């Protein structure tokens, strides 16, 4: 049910009040496919409730918070009431930052697996992107100190980091960037001086998101340490000292940003701030990459969620907006464009589920899964975040001039989507990291057998094309990595990403087909045609497959396996 609104004059479809979980017909089936049955049944009501909130109250709060950015008053940051309510839902009601680290969240007695955390946050981010940064930072900081910090330090701070009581909650952050040290982290100049059982940090950090967090992980260089990343150590920096006094660092100013306007990012000056060493002093950067990679994966999840929100809005409008005597969705060019929005949105979701399941295995000691996560994390961060920029912008066009107005979600999605390609590594940096994972850690060797097994289960006509494309993409990526051909890093990463996504879409389509819905097999074929197969850009496609695919996919209703196979057979 949608609600009336003054912002929607006659003829402009009003999507406010739409349940964003129920408006995504594929999602329930994917959850049932990827989550343990008892857990899935327990969580489905929570997904439905969050979907209703995301399309209603949370969306309105996000609009309000976006228009009322935080203000620095002395050393205190004043945040809007709307932002605080958004925090309350994420941290308190749903426990999104705590659920991976302790039981009891959402009535489940054990810590929830990564797939649940990302699947729920995927719905939340469709309404609000800004709060997802503190969520990710808090979750990732907790994970990192549990792995590397002194147990006494963990015992002191873990209860606050995993609290669902906002008065007791300690939020997390990471402070890395300096003016001269952005992507080139080895240029960090912040100095660490040892004093008995703690360290004193001095220097400037130039871009600190969630800048007033209670705890931050900071990269700094101990006195006498060598240059480059090898000389960096990792430190835990409290906002408030154990005796209750403020630590010795100042927030210099807040950033006036294009997106995530409601979440405070700023500059800080460390003036002999007390901090504790985390882990091995010679492994600071390596240890910090654990937090960075979790944040990169979160960025991929957010990109996937924002693309789904953009697609939901575009489909809602196209089905209801009349032009030239018919609904927009019946116009051939619009149908083609909607397919181009659907493919990257669904590809990102499939890759996200695969990584999240492998992350659980990796944390349990599975080395092959660890290597797959190592490769796929920068891969989804690179490609999904770039895709989100285009998908959100093209979806805004479907609403036309109304979509350009700040009363709707479209402009906020466009602005927020651009951030995913910048923080925790720009597109170039993460594409190069994909090559590094292939070259140094033999991650392709861990990934390809897993994907080959999935492709083998697909219908023969689809499997042959996907297997050949995966082989070609892997060969190109391996050659690019081996020869360190940096100029082709983005091309190699894009090909590998979509070859992986096509394999995963096909496998989901095959397994869901056993329950009566093989739609994702068609999406896998679409990925092959649009992203992997050679095409002449100056020749018109004459097979008519896109019209048939639009007819099958745009209603977002189940397609029986035999119907999907007939479509694939005709195209072959």
Q: What is the DSSP string of 193-232?
A: EEETTEEEEEEEEEEEETTT-SEEEEEEEETT--SSGGG-
pLDDT classification of 7: cutoffs 50, 70, 90: low
**What average pLDDT does the structure give for the chain?**
95
pLDDT of residue 2: 45
Backbone angles phi, psi at 423, to 5 degrees: -75, 155
pLDDT of residue 535: 85
Question: Over 90: is that where the pLDDT of 540 sits?
Answer: no
Question: Over 80: is that where the pLDDT of 286 sits?
Answer: yes
Structural domain range at position 513 = 427-571
Q: Which residue has the tokens 């912040």?
A: 190
Question: Over 80: is that where the pLDDT of 542 sits?
Answer: no
b/e per residue 532-541 (b: at least 16 CB within 10 A): beeeeeeeee
Mean of pLDDT values over 258-277: 97
Q: Which CATH number goes with the domain that contains 258?
A: 2.40.110.20
Separation between Cα atoms, residue 192 and residue 201, nearest integer Å: 5
pLDDT digit string, tens, across residues 80-117: 999 999 999 999 999 999 999 999 999 999 999 999 99
Separation between Cα atoms, residue 520 and residue 306, nearest integer Å: 20
- CB-facing half-sphere around the CA of 559: CA atoms within 13 A: 25
Question: Over 50: is that where the pLDDT of 1 sits?
Answer: no
Lowest mean pLDDT among 131-145, 244-258, 278-292: 278-292
DSSP sequence for 433-454: HHHHHHHHH-HHHHHHHHHHHH
pLDDT of residue 182: 87
pLDDT classification of 195: cutoffs 50, 70, 90: very high
Question: H or E stretch including 72?
Answer: strand 71-73
Q: How many domains does one find in the chain? A: 2
* SS3 per-residue string spanning 151-176: HHHHHHHHHHHCCCCCCCCCCEEEEC
Specify if 62 maps to a domain.
no
Specify if 258 maps to a domain.
yes
Mean of pLDDT values over 171-187: 94
With contact defined as beta carbons under 8 Å apart, do 114 and 100 qualify? yes
Is the model more confident about 329 or about 541? 329
For 561, the 3-state DSSP assignment is helix
Mean of pLDDT values over 310-332: 96
Separation between Cα atoms, residue 253 and residue 266, nearest integer Å: 6
Question: Over 80: is that where the pLDDT of 543 sits?
Answer: no
- 460: number of Cβ within 10 Å: 12
Residue 64 burial (CB < 10 Å; 0-12/13-18/19+)? middle
With contact defined as beta carbons under 8 Å apart, do 43 and 35 qualify? yes
Among residues 260, 286, 312, the one where a domain terminates is 286
Chain centre to alpha carbon of residue 531: 21
Specify if 97 maps to a domain.
no
CA-based radius of gyration for the chain: 24
Specify if 156 maps to a domain.
no
Question: Over 50: is that where the pLDDT of 156 sits?
Answer: yes
Question: Over 60: is that where the pLDDT of 173 sits?
Answer: yes
Specify if 383 maps to a domain.
no
pLDDT classification of 538: cutoffs 50, 70, 90: confident
pLDDT classification of 518: cutoffs 50, 70, 90: very high
Separation between Cα atoms, residue 67 and residue 62, nearest integer Å: 9
Mean of pLDDT values over 163-181: 96
Among residues 223, 255, 286, the one where a domain terminates is 286
Question: Over 60: is that where the pLDDT of 5 sits?
Answer: no
Question: Over 70: is that where the pLDDT of 526 sits?
Answer: yes
Specify if 204 maps to a domain.
yes
Separation between Cα atoms, residue 349 and residue 75, nearest integer Å: 40
pLDDT digit string, tens, across residues 221-233: 999 999 999 999 9
H helices present in 514-559, as ranges: 519-527, 545-553
Model's pTM, two decimal places? 0.97
Residue 319 burial (CB < 10 Å; 0-12/13-18/19+)? middle
Mean of pLDDT values over 383-398: 98
Separation between Cα atoms, residue 43 and residue 78, nearest integer Å: 34
With contact defined as beta carbons under 8 Å apart, do 219 and 186 qualify? no
Mean of pLDDT values over 540-569: 90
Question: Over 50: is that where the pLDDT of 3 sits?
Answer: no
* 38-44: long-range contacts, CB 8 A cutoff, minimum separation 24: 39/108, 39/112, 39/113, 39/116, 42/106, 42/107, 42/108, 43/106, 43/108, 43/116, 43/120
At CA 482, angle to CA 300 and CA 422, rounded to 5? 25
Separation between Cα atoms, residue 208 and residue 237, nearest integer Å: 13
Query: What percentage of the chain has pLDDT greater than the value 70?
Result: 97
Specify if 266 maps to a domain.
yes
pLDDT classification of 423: cutoffs 50, 70, 90: confident
Mean of pLDDT values over 362-379: 98
Q: Which residue has the tokens 């130039």?
A: 206
Question: Over 50: is that where the pLDDT of 467 sits?
Answer: yes
Among residues 286, 309, 344, the one where a domain terminates is 286
Task: Choose among 477, 540, 527, 523: nearest CA to 498.
Answer: 527
For 150, the 3-state DSSP assignment is coil
Question: Over 70: is that where the pLDDT of 145 sits?
Answer: yes
Copy the structure tokens of residue 218.
């900071």
Parallel/antiparallel/unpaired status of strands 76-78 and 71-73 = antiparallel
Specify if 464 maps to a domain.
yes
Separation between Cα atoms, residue 61 and residue 384, nearest integer Å: 26
């Amino acid at each position: 049910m949608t609600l009336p609104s003054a912002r929607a004059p006659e003829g402009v479809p009003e999507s406010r009040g739409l349940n964003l979980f129920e408006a995504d017909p594929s999602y329930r089936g994917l959850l049932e496919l990827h989550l343990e049955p008892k857990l899935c049944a327990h969580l489905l009501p929570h997904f439905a409730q969050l979907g209703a909130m995301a399309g209603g109250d949370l969306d309105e709060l996000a609009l309000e918070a976006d228009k009322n950015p935080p203000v620095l008053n002395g050393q205190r940051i004043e945040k809007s009431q709307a932002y605080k309510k958004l925090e309350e839902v994420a941290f308190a009601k749903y426990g999104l930052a705590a659920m991976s680290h302790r039981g009891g969240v959402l009535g489940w007695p054990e810590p929830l697996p990564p797939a649940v955390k990302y699947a729920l946050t995927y719905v939340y981010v469709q309404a609000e992107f800004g709060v997802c940064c503190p969520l990710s930072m808090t979750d990732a900081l907790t994970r990192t100190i549990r792995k590397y910090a002194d147990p006494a330090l963990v015992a002191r701070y873990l209860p606050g980091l995993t609290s669902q009581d906002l008065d007791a909650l300690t939020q997390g952050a990471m402070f890395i960037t300096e003016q001269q040290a952005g992507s080139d982290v080895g240029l960090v100049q912040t100095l660490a001086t040892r004093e008995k059982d703690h360290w004193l940090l001095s220097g400037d950090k130039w871009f600190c998101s969630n800048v007033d967090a209670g705890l931050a992980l900071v990269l700094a260089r101990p006195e006498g340490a060598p240059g480059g990343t090898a000389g960096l150590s990792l430190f835990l920096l409290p906002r408030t000292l154990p005796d209750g006094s403020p630590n010795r660092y100042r927030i210099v100013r807040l950033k006036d940003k294009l997106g995530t306007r409601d979440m405070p990012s700023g500059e800080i000056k460390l003036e002999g701030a007390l901090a504790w060493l985390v882990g091995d002093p010679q492994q600071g950067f390596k240890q910090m990459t654990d937090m960075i990679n979790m944040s990169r994966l979160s960025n991929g999840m957010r990109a996937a969620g924002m693309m789904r929100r953009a697609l939901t809005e575009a489909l809602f409008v196209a089905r209801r907006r009349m032009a030239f005597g018919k609904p927009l969705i019946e116009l051939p060019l619009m149908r083609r464009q909607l397919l181009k929005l659907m493919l990257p949105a669904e590809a990102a979701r499939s890759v996200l589920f695969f990584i999240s399941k492998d992350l659980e295995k990796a944390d349990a000691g599975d080395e092959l899964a660890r290597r797959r996560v190592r490769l796929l994390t920068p891969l989804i961060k690179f490609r999904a975040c770039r895709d989100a920029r285009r998908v959100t912008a093209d979806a805004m066009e479907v609403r036309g001039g109304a979509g350009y107005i700040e009363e709707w979600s479209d402009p906020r999605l466009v602005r927020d989507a651009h951030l995913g390609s910048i923080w925790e590594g720009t597109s170039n940096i993460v594409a190069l990291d994909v090559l590094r994972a292939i070259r140094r850690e033999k991650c392709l060797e861990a990934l390809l057998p897993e994907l080959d097994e999935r492709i083998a289960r697909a219908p023969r006509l689809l499997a042959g094309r996907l297997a050949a494309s995966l082989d070609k993409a892997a060969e190109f990526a391996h050659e690019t990595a081996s020869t360190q051909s940096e100029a082709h890093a983005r091309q190699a990463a894009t090909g590998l990403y979509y070859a992986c996504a096509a394999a995963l879409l096909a496998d989901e389509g095959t397994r869901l087909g056993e329950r009566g819905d093989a739609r994702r097999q068609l999406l896998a074929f679409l990925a092959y045609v649009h992203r992997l197969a050679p095409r002449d850009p100056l020749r018109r496609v004459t097979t008519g497959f896109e019209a048939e695919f639009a007819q099958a996919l745009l209603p977002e209703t189940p397609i029986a396996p035999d119907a999907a196979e007939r479509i694939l057979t005709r195209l072959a």
